[in-house]
């Protein structure tokens, strides 16, 4: 069943693409499972490759009243940089998405519906787009990451640089922080 539906690894450009044929689902309201891996290693965001490893995708497709409901789960390893300490971080993630798919969108179709021209739904493109959208803009290596010291740039998770202690005692920093406080007041 899975193999008939999932036209996996059909070469488009030079990348293998995972597609399912929504016109081959059989009886209405019977979810048909599909599974495979998609290659999103071509995705680049802010100079990083967030998904260098294959993404496992599994889900079901179910036709109902001329539409197809697709639910899927993507399991992937996110490679990015901590927003506070700027260290590379790697994390296993799971994301779930569902879609209403039609062979052809009409003018009054809801905006979030997905078109599958000729019945072929491009799972790779869908998952790639949605994983990018789901990427948290501020990923942290851990919830309580202390980040970098704004004065000396030390990673405060590893180094206790003492800058905040010095700041209190140094008249130059006192003048600077007064300036910053004044600026805050005028904003």
Which residues contact Zn ion by CB under 5 A? 82, 84-85, 141, 145, 149, 151-152, 154, 161, 163
**CB of 48 or CB of 130, closer to Zn ion:** 48
Query: Among 15, 20, 16, 18, which Cα is nearest to 4's?
Result: 20
**CB of 40 or CB of 141, closer to Zn ion:** 141
What's the start-to-end Cα distance of the chain, in Å? Answer: 64
CB of 33 to Zn ion, least distance (A): 39
Locus of tokens 């021209």: 117
**CB of 64 or CB of 91, closer to Zn ion:** 91
Query: Among 164, 140, 121, 7, which Cα is nearest to 78's?
Result: 140
The two tokens of residue 1 are: 């069943």
CB of 150 to Zn ion, least distance (A): 8
CB of 84 to Zn ion, least distance (A): 5
């Amino acid at each position: 069943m899975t193999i008939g539906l999932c036209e996996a690894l059909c070469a488009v450009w030079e990348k293998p693409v995972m597609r399912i044929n929504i016109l081959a689902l059989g009886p209405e309201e019977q979810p048909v499972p599909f599974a495979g891996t998609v290659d999103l290693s071509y995705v680049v965001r802010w100079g990083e490759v967030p998904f260098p490893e294959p993404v496992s995708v599994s889900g079901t497709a179910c036709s109902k009243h001329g539409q197809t409901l697709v639910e899927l789960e993507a399991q992937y390893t996110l490679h990015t940089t901590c927003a506070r300490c700027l260290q590379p971080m790697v994390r296993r993630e799971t994301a779930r998405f569902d879609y209403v798919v039609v062979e052809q969108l009409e003018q009054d179709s809801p905006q979030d519906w997905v078109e599958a021209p000729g019945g072929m739904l491009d799972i790779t493109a869908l998952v790639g787009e949605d994983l990018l959208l789901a990427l948290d803009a501020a990923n942290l290596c851990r919830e309580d990451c202390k980040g970098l010291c704004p004065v000396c740039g030390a990673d405060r998770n590893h180094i206790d640089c003492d800058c905040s202690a010095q700041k209190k005692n140094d008249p130059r920093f006192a003048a600077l922080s007064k300036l910053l406080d004044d600026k805050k007041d005028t904003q």
